[in-house]
Amino acid sequence: MKNLIKISSIIIILLFIVPGQSFGQTDTTVTDPDTLQYETDEVVVTATRVQKKIIDIPYPVARLKTTQYKFDRKVSISDVLTPVPGLFMQSRYGNHDVRISIRGFGSRSNTGIRGVRILLDGIPESEPDGQTRIEAIDFNALGSIEIVKGNSSSLYTNAPGGVINFISDINYPSSFAVLHNEMGEFGMHRNGFKVGIRSGNVGFLTTYTYHNYNGYRPHSSDYWHILNSFLEIMPGEHSSFQTMFYFVNGMIRLPGSLTREEFDANPYAPAKTEKDFDFRRESKKGRLGLKYTTEFGSSYNNELELTAYGTIKYFERLSRNYRIMNRYGLGASARWTNRSEFFGLKNEFSLGGDLLYQTGPIEWYNNIGGTRENLYDVSDETIGNSGAFFLNTTELIRNKFSILISGRYDRVYFDQKNRINESMNDERIFEDFTPKVAFSYKLTPSIALYTSYGLSFDSPAGNEMDNFPTSSSPGTLLNPDLQAQESKNFEVGIKGQLISERRFFSNLFFELTFFNIIIENEIVPYEVFSDFYFRNAAETNRTGIEFGANIELVKGLNLNAAYTYSNFSYNNYLLASVDSLLQVSYKDYSGNIVPSVPEHNLYTAVSYAHPITPYLTGFAKVSNLYISEMFVDDANSDKTDSYSLVNLTLGFDFLFNRFNLLLSGGINNLLDETYAAFININSSSGRFFEAGEPRSYFVTLNLGYNF
């Protein structure tokens, strides 16, 4: 009852801060730079498996364009996506070890991204088991980012939290070239180029970025080379063929997590074990993708999309041991969509499927001061996923009320073979069907109410399947006790735009969503002597609110707000633990708060863009991110302090004939707040805390030419 009163109060407060406006029906969009926008009538997204306007999608979806963050620092994904309500990111070191959480899904991962499907141009960056690392994402190559929040398991594998689709900047009108330069504190510099060539029905985009960073903690340096290219050929008005390629090569050193005492004494010190063993990750990764799309039929109401891709990955992971992984992957997907009318009501039906296959050897060595010695184990790991989905949207009242029904069947399998000891060979299969139903009702053409209910299914990732000595079958490679995570997801919300003719508060773009999720067998991590294993909690309840708004106070001056309230707790969680003497004890965590998720996440920003002359535009923004305290483990034995990060950005955009010069700079963490940016969940040694970046500056200088 107390939680319901708190939630109701928050909803009332959020509704009252919306200024009184008339419900406009004008198709209006805002193009001021660097401001999160909720463009509902004009924006079409594709991450929902069909091309659809945001206002017609019965769940929360956001879309960012590069113009909205072009003046900001673009080192980490958290530099760009923080203004999106419902997203919470914990960044360890730059962009290559970021924890992305949507409604708590993804918060369990101590390495990589889990529970949120990551796409690049519609092709999964996520591996068949759902694990994702995003080294290949280069913000200089992107044109837009689509974020689908909430249960997407009826459309994608292992996507209970949602989908993020990074889209290359291929929709440019004419040829251009840009030199990118960004530098900042702690030896950070990013340099590269971006070239687009447009000739008739052919478009080609290529980008290269070199990133180097000494890090704000000892033993936290990293470097990356990122090459992206995109070729699009449109042989006809209703068809296109795309070729997408990238290659990334780099290394990141890991300074490790600290105990409470160590963090309080010196939050930026490296952990001794990580430094002595030179914990780091080195990777090379390449992908080639092909996509063909065509529309056909007498009225071109049918659409067919075929995609195929191949990946090669080489990964060295140094912890207490030295692990080398070679992975080779193939993937394909197909989707057919039919748009028709029955009795004057629109109907859209899609049917599709995905195949993902990944295999390769894993070699285990002793780690002697950061060098590999004495190969002691080799196994072949194969992970595959096959899935099929359907999606149907039907109007019940024309242009007013519609119903969406979707469902997906997934089969995820793991096969590990030990080359030294065949008795350890093992395989496991996880499969399920996840349906979803959603309704949308338009109060006006630009204001919509929506609600949905669906099931989700999230199989363990490969690294979560590592067996441990006290499992029910300790002699095999895969953990026999770990089960898939399943959940029941409900949400209700409203989104759209309010338009008036007033000089002040003329435009409001907003989104408000309430959700409740019941999770069974939630997968949670725990750490023993720097090695991580995973277990199931019995049942978790998640209740929350997501609110986002962008208000044009006066022309050029925008206020952006994003708030997320999260009340996540374990309903039932009786943990059996085994000590070094094999003595079993039980701990009851029922009623405890889920770690690594803040109860309150509030982002506010005021930005102003003003044309100083016909050739020069000035820009300024002040933002603040408030994160409330978070528990560090299932036992709720300790928690981080709340923190606020104030950022300041200034910029100028010069346009003269065919030349364009963008100059910007800023200070992040202006007040030099000391805070825990990343939580190492359930560490048995109490090493939970990793400090965020102290006060730092950045300067960006981009020079472009339009041919």
**For range 161-184, the mean pLDDT:** 94
Residue 119 pLDDT exceeds 90: yes
Residue 441 pLDDT exceeds 80: yes
| Amino acid identity at 223 | Y
Residue 651 pLDDT exceeds 80: yes
Residue 39 pLDDT exceeds 50: no
**Which residues contact residue 172 at a Cβ distance below 8 angstroms, ignoring those fewer than 6 apart?**
143, 196, 198, 203, 205
What domain count does the chain have? 1
Name the phi and psi angles at 461, rounded to 5.
-80, 165
pLDDT computed for residue 33 by the predictor = 34
pLDDT computed for residue 530 by the predictor = 55
CATH number for the domain spanning 120: value is 2.40.170.20
- The b-or-e profile of 295-315 (16+ CB within 10 A means b, else e) is beeeeeeebebebbbebebeb
Convert the pLDDT of each residue in 336-368 to its tens digit.
Answer: 999 999 989 999 999 999 999 999 999 999 999
Residue 37 pLDDT exceeds 70: no
Is the pTM for the entire model greater than 0.85? yes
- pLDDT tier at 169 (50, 70, 90 boundaries)? very high
Convert the pLDDT of each residue in 472-498 to its tens digit.
Answer: 777 788 888 889 999 999 999 999 988
Q: In this structure, what is the dihedral angle of CA atoms 672, 674, 680, 683, given to the nearest 10 degrees?
A: 170
Q: Which of 551, 696, 601 lies closest to 216 in space, CA to CA?
A: 696
d(CA 581, CA 619): 64
Higher pLDDT, 457 or 703: 703
495, 510 Cβ separation under 8 angstroms: yes
- pLDDT tier at 244 (50, 70, 90 boundaries)? very high
Range of the domain at 621: 2-706
Write out the two tokens for 269. 């010190």
What mean pLDDT, rounded, does the chain reach?
Answer: 88
Integer CA distances (angstroms), 151 to 462, 476, 626, in order? 22, 33, 26
